[in-house]
Amino acid sequence: MPHDDFAFEPVRGLPARPPSGEQILWQGRPQTWALAREAMGLYWVAGWFVLLSLWRVGVASTEVPFPSVLLTALPLLALGFVTCAIILLIAWVQARSTVYTITTARVAMRIGAALTVTFNIPYKKLGTANLDLKTSGTGTIAMQTLGETKLSYLICWPHVRPWRMKKTEPALRCIPDAENVARILAEAAETRVSQPEVTRLEPTAVAAE
């Protein structure tokens, strides 16, 4: 029988049920192909093996007949194919285990394949958010955190803005319909931050006369 690794979650993508009044506005996950291409350098790896194969053909063409030259490139092409397949598999596993959640109070990120963790980022701890939109409609929303909030780049990878290691910026990486998701995030954050906070004060003691 199929086994759901996250059956223990009371709500998909969240470690606990949202408090009363908090509503889920959007949930999604990375697109596998986009994640492999942008976060894991799929095209760069494929291009590297193609260049190695062409170099090998060029070197061997001075020593063996041309029909045999092509055979010398096959091992490199096969290795490149296997490497790209592994990258795609890793991207698929990462995408499958990830759930991004936008609520009326926070952004939650359930990430990690081997070690699953959930990060909750309240809007009051969220600075600016930057959208990197691709022509395909997929995109990445990178978020700057405020104050002393610190996240590990290695734990969050690939769900981070690339190369921002000193101050890690968690990111909703390679999500479909990214422009619409960015709008939902902006409206939710603006609404939440603009709400006044009401705190309860202890009654002032009155000295007895």
Q: Tens digits of per-residue pLDDT, 128-154?
A: 899 999 998 999 999 999 877 778 898
* Closest of 73, 77, 90, 79 to residue 37, by C-alpha: 90
- What pLDDT sits at residue 64? 67
- 7 compared with 170, residue with greater pLDDT: 170
- What pLDDT sits at residue 208? 46
- What pLDDT sits at residue 15? 83
**78/68 Cα distance (integer angstroms):** 17
SS3 category, 73: helix
The verdict on whether omega for the bond into residue 158 sits within 30 degrees of 0, i.e. cis, is: yes
**18/70 Cα distance (integer angstroms):** 60
- What pLDDT sits at residue 209? 45
Q: What is the mean pLDDT of the chain?
A: 85
Amino acid at 19: P
- What pLDDT sits at residue 8? 59
* Domain regions of the chain by residue span: 24-30+99-194, 35-93
- What pLDDT sits at residue 2? 45
Alpha-helix runs per DSSP H in 61-177: 66-97, 153-156
Q: How many residues does the chain have?
A: 209
DSSP letter for 125, please: G
Q: Does domain 24-30+99-194 match CATH 1.20.1050?
A: no
Indicate whether 67 pLDDT > 60.
yes
